[in-house]
Amino acid sequence: MFYLEKMRHPLKISKPAILVIDVQEYFFAESSLAFLRGSERVKENIRAFLKQLRELSEGLSLDIPVVATIHKGGSRNMKMWWGNTVEDLWAELSIEEEFVDFIIYKDTYDAFYMTGLHDILKKKSVDQLIITGVMTHLCCETTARSGFVKGYEIVMVEDCLWDKDEWYHYASLKNLAHGFAVISTSQEIIEQVKLVK
């Protein structure tokens, strides 16, 4: 789908970190008002990707940190826009913590805003963000743009991202591909990690 963009900006792995954005009960529990239909498939894709990446990086002695974000509470603007906040009940990871090295809490779309994310990435000498999670057009896209202006290379993992519906998902990826991010798949990334020396 992103053939022309991939020709201009081919995927190359440098010093990455994986961001797992808001893979939490608020979006993944069927009893939640914010449940995203189709999210179960994406959660399984993320699990499989992280498991494969962990095994591969251990075998190659690579340090690829995994940072999960959890949206909790809500900023003043988020409360005004959505009319609610994310309560503690819904602020729990929906994947196993064994896949994650760091957890940060945020209260707005941008995972960098008033969190320790930038400090974690700098301490790990990260220069590339590989982004997974939900929702593509809100928290994932906002974090991607914020990371780009902070100097990180951005990679969006198409099969490990999801949204309210496909239209938002693909529109967001198309916008990001135009000026901010390489759009890739989990398998393409795994194949590129194998080439890292």
Dihedral through CA 170, CA 174, CA 177, CA 178, nearest 10? -170
Report domain extents, the chain: 15-193
Burial class (CB in 10 A: 0-12, 13-18, 19+), 37: exposed
CATH of 15-193, one of 3.40.50.850, 3.40.50.920, 3.90.1150.60, 3.40.50.720: 3.40.50.850
Nearest to 183 by CA among 153, 144, 147, 157: 157
Q: Output the pTM of the full model.
A: 0.93
Q: Per residue of the chain (197 residues), give pLDDT as tens.
A: 665 666 677 899 999 999 999 999 988 989 988 889 999 999 999 999 999 999 999 988 999 999 999 998 766 776 766 666 677 767 889 999 999 999 999 999 999 999 999 999 999 999 999 999 999 999 999 999 999 999 999 999 999 999 999 999 999 999 999 999 999 999 999 999 999 86
